[in-house]
Amino acid sequence: MGVVHNSNIFSTLATVIFIITLLSSVGLFFYKNLLTSQIDQYNKDITSASTALQPQKIQDLIDANSRITTTKTLLDGHVVVSKLLLLLNDLSLKKMRLTDFNYVNKNKQSSLSITAELQTYNALAEEQNIFSKNEFIKNPVFSNFILGDNGYITVNLSATIDSALISYKKSVQSSP
């Protein structure tokens, strides 16, 4: 007969667990090394990508964008009062002279207040007609008619101005 091996179930189980633990430890060691090498490679890739992005150039572009945005804001809000003065010159009859001029641009709303002298009431009526038909002068109101010692009629004019007339941006866009 042969040799009888007397084995204990606990020693067999302990041996199997030891072999599984040993294999797991070796596997985890190699897996840890694989992960470490992948992390190192990813760090190298990130560093090279960061260098390729050129951070200084990106900052320069951000600064340029900020300047462009500020310039656009200034351009949109800038007004050209000279166009208003030229319009008033064209609208004023020879029988009228301006003695006081007040222009206010507040909250993107422009208003005009003028004191003028006219030679006759007919000239005043004609001037009212001219101002009321103009597309850039909104809500013209003639008031406080006073006949002066010199025979001239003093009158106050108040009106709002269409922003299209005084907009620097539209002025630049419409010029040839």
Domain ranges in the chain are 10-74, 79-174
pTM as predicted: 0.56
> Tens digits of per-residue pLDDT, 127-172?
888 888 989 888 998 888 888 888 888 999 999 988 878 777 777 7
Per CATH, which fold does 79-174 belong to?
Gyrase A; domain 2 (3.30.1360)
> What are the tokens at 173?
């866009």
- pLDDT tens digits along 44-79: 988 888 777 777 888 888 999 999 999 888 877 777
Q: How far apart are CA 35 and CA 111, in angstroms?
A: 72
List C-alpha distances in Å: 76 to 2, 58, 71, 108, 155.
106, 27, 9, 10, 34
Question: C-alpha distances in angstroms, 103 versus 43, 67, 141, 161?
Answer: 64, 30, 15, 10
Closest by Cα among 151, 157, 142, 158 to 95: 151
